[in-house]
A and B are shown apart, each in its own frame.
Chain A
C-alpha cells in the first residue's frame, strides 16, 4: 500500500494525481513532493483525486492549502475529486479550503474544469 500510495496519469491532456490511504505525519512529505513533481510549469493545472484517501490530518490540509496558493500564483488551477460525504470533503469544508479549491465528486467534471481554462 505504501509503495503505490500516490500515482499520476494523464486524462485528456490533464495531469491527474491519485492519492490513497492515510496522509499523515508519516506520508505527508511524500504527498507534498509528489504534488510538486506533478506540476507542469506550462500546463493549465492539475486534478487531485482523493476518493481513496482514508485519513488525512491538519498537516495534509496545510500542504494542500499551500500548494493551492502556489498553483494560483503560477496562474494555474487545481481541482479536487472527493466523495462529497467523505472525510476529505468534510475537512475541506471545515477548514474553509472548499471555498478556494473546487471539489468534484467525479473525475470527468474535474478534468473538464481544468481543460476549460
Chain B
C-alpha cells in the first residue's frame, strides 16, 4: 500500500512537469500568441490532475498540492458556484495578498481593464462540460507586470455532478516578455531596413520605442567634431515631447558630464539609473521654466551605447517616469539588443548616404547642364531619381549639337546601381559624344560603345542614340535593347523606329542597324528609360498611357514636354529612376529667328544651320540661300573674331520677313575693329557682292549688320 501511495504521489507531479515543459515548448513555437497556447498538452494534464484528484482524494490531494505549489503560480480551487476558495502561496506571494484578499477577487483589480473583462467573461461562461482557460496580465507586489495563463476543469462526484473547479496558474511572464521582445526586435529590424536615410532611420525608431519600450526615448550622437548632440527626444505624451524639445540643449555637451548619454558615449558602457531625477538622466537644460516640472519627476532609466564597427557613435536613453523598480538584467539586455540594431542601421545608412551623395552628384553633374537651343525645336528633359530609396541608378539623357548643326541625342540605362553605375553611365555618354563629334553614324556610335564596354567596363547598357536633322526633318537612330522611342507626327499618329538590337556590352558581334523616320512640322519625339513605363508593372497599360500623355503634351505645346510626361505618368516621386527626353518640332513653319550664341568659332555652323531652316521654311530659292548664308557667315565670323577680342561675348542672329524680303540681322555688343589683314577685308566685299541690300551700323553699343534678300524676283 505504501508503495502504491508513493507511486501515485509521484505520477501526477511527473505529469505536471511534463505538461509544463510541453507548454513551454509550445510557447516557444508561437511566441506571438502566448495566450492562445492553452494547448492540448496543458488540457491533458488538467484532465490527469482531475482524474487523480477524483481517484485518490484526501491526503493524496495534499501531496499533489505540495508539488503543485512548487511551480509558479500553483493550484487554485473554486466551488461549484464559481467562488475561488484556494490559491497557492506562490500566487499570493506574487500578488502580495492574503488568501482572504484573493478570495474576494482583489487580484482582479491588478489586471489591466481589458484583461479583467476578458477573464471575468471567460469565468462566467465556464461550463462543466468544457475546460476553463484564460490568460491575463496582473501587476505583482513588486510592480512588475506578470503574464499568467490559467487552466481549469470541473470536479465531479461519483454521479458525475459538478462539485467545483480545480486548475492551476502558469507564470508565462518570461516567455511572454521574450516573445514580445522578439516580436519588437523583428519589427524594429523591419522598420530599420525600410530606409537608408540616416535621419529617417532614427526618426522611425522613435515611433516604435514609445510607449512600447519606455515613456521617454532619446538619441544622442557623437558629431565629427567630437560633441554629443541630442538629435531626437520623444515622450509617449506629445505634450511632454514638446516640452522636452523646448529644453533641448543648444550648447555642446561636455563628454565629462557625470550622467546620461555623454558619460555612456565617453565610456562605451551602459548606465542604469533608478529613482533618479528625470532631468539629470535626460540631460535637459538648466534654468528653463519647465525644469521645475521635470525636476519634480523622478524615474528610472537606462542609457546604452550605440556601437557600430567598434566605435561608439552615440547613445540611446530609455526612461520610465515615476518608476521606482530598478532595471533588471533582462531589460538591460533588451536595451542592448535595440541599440545594436539601431547602431548598425544608422551606421549603414550613413555609409550608404555618403556613397549615395557622391553617386547622385556624379549623376547630376553628368547630365547636360544646358540643353542646346535650336530655333523651332523645343528640347525638354527630365530626370527623377527613384523614391524607393534604393540606390541611384545609371539612367541618363543627353542632347548636344554636332558641328554640322544637327542634334545628337541619347537616353540610356546602365545595369546596376550606385557609384559604379553612375561612373559607367558617364563614360558611356562621353564615348557617345566623342564618336558623334567625329561624324560617326548612330550605328557606328553604338558599335564603338559596345567595344568600349566589352573591353573596358563589362556592364550591360541599354540605350537609344539618334540624330535629329532639323533641316531634312528626319530622326535617325539605333536602339540597343532599350524601350522604343515614340514619335508622334503633326497629326498625333504614333510611330516607333525599329529594329531593336541587343543591349550594349554583351556581344562582340552585335550590330546596331539604324533607321530614319520623318520628323516633320509639329512632331514630338519621346525618349525615355524603363522607369517611366514599368512603374506599375502593367507594361501595355503604361505604354498606352504614355501615348495618351504624349499626345496631350503635343496638343498643349508644353514647353518641357519631358517633365509634363514624367509628372503625368509617375508623378514627382517615381519608384525607379526615370529619364525622359523630348524633342518637339514647332507646329508652325519657322517664320522668324532669334538666336544668341557665344562669340566663338563653333557657333558659326549653328547659326548657319538655323538660318538654313528659316530660308527653307520661307521658301527662298536654293542659290539665294547659299549667297545669304555666305554673306551672313561673313558678318557672324566678323563679330566672333573682332567684336570682343579676348574678352568673349555673344553674337545674335535675327531673321524675319518684311515686305516680301527676308531680313537677317547679325549684331554684337562689341567695338568695331578694323580688319587687320587683306583676306579678312574681303568679307565686306563678299557680303555686298552676294546680297543686294547690306547696311552696317557701328555704334558705341556694338555693330549691327543687316542683310536683305527678296523672296522672289531678282537679287
Binding site for B on A (CB under 8 A): 1-3, 21-22, 24-26, 54-59, 61-62, 65-66, 85-87, 90-91, 94-95
Contact = CB atoms under 8 A, between A and B. Distances in A.
B626 A86 contact: yes
A85 B626 CA distance: 10
B633 A90 contact: no
Nearest to A93: B689
B605 to A, nearest CB: 7
Interface of B: 403-404, 438-439, 601-602, 604-605, 608, 623, 626-627, 629-630, 633-634, 637, 640, 678-680, 682-683, 685-686, 689-690
Nearest to A63: B679
B686 A3 contact: no
A55 B679 contact: no
A78 to B, nearest CB: 17
Contacts of B640: 25
A98 to B, nearest CB: 12
Given A25-B604, A55-B626, A55-B629, 18 more contacts: A3-B438, A21-B404, A22-B608, A24-B604, A24-B633, A25-B637, A54-B626, A56-B630, A57-B686, A58-B680, A62-B679, A65-B679, A66-B679, A87-B623, A87-B626, A87-B627, A90-B626, A95-B686
B199 to A, nearest CB: 52
B439 A22 contact: no
Contact of B601 (A25, A55, A61, A85): A25
A12 B680 CA distance: 37
Given A26-B602, A26-B605, A87-B630, A1 B439 contact: yes
A94 B637 contact: no
B683 A94 contact: no
Contacts of A86: 623, 626
A21 B686 CA distance: 19
Identify the interface centre among A21, A24, A54: most chain B CB within 10 Å of its CB: A24
B604 A58 contact: no
B682 A95 contact: yes
Contacts of A1: 404, 439
Contacts of A54: 626
A55 B633 contact: yes
8 closest Cβ pairs, A-B complex: A62-B679, A94-B689, A87-B626, A2-B439, A58-B682, A25-B601, A58-B683, A57-B633
Contacts of B404: 1-2, 21-22
Given A3-B438, A26-B403, A57-B637, A91 B630 contact: yes
A95 to B, nearest CB: 6
Given A3-B439, A24-B605, A26-B604, A95 B637 contact: no
Nearest to B678: A62
B686 A91 contact: yes
A85 B403 CA distance: 27
B615 to A, nearest CB: 13
Contacts of A61: 679, 682, 686
Contacts of B629: 55, 87
Contacts of B601: 25-26
18 contacts: A1-B404, A1-B439, A2-B404, A3-B439, A22-B404, A24-B604, A24-B605, A24-B633, A25-B601, A25-B604, A26-B601, A26-B604, A55-B630, A57-B637, A61-B686, A65-B679, A87-B629, A94-B686
A61 B682 CA distance: 9
A58 B605 contact: no
A2 B403 contact: yes
B686 A85 contact: no
B446 to A, nearest CB: 17
A22 B405 CA distance: 11
Contacts of A21: 404
A47 B623 CA distance: 24
A1 B438 CA distance: 9
Most-contacted residue by chain B among A1, A25, A56, A61 (CB, 10 A): A25
Contact of B438 (A2, A24, A57, A59): A2
Given A22-B605, A26-B403, A57 B630 contact: yes
B260 to A, nearest CB: 71
Contacts of B604: 24-26
B438 A90 contact: no
A58 B686 contact: yes
Given A1-B439, A55-B633, A85-B623, A90 B602 contact: no
Nearest to B679: A62
B643 to A, nearest CB: 15
Given A2-B403, A26-B604, A58 B439 contact: no
Nearest to A83: B623
B470 to A, nearest CB: 16
Contacts of B637: 24-25, 57-59
B633 A62 contact: no
B690 A94 contact: yes
Given A2-B438, A25-B604, A57 B634 contact: yes
Given A26-B605, A91-B686, A58 B626 contact: no
A66 B679 CA distance: 10
A28 to B, nearest CB: 10
Contacts of B682: 58, 61-62, 95
Contacts of B605: 22, 24, 26
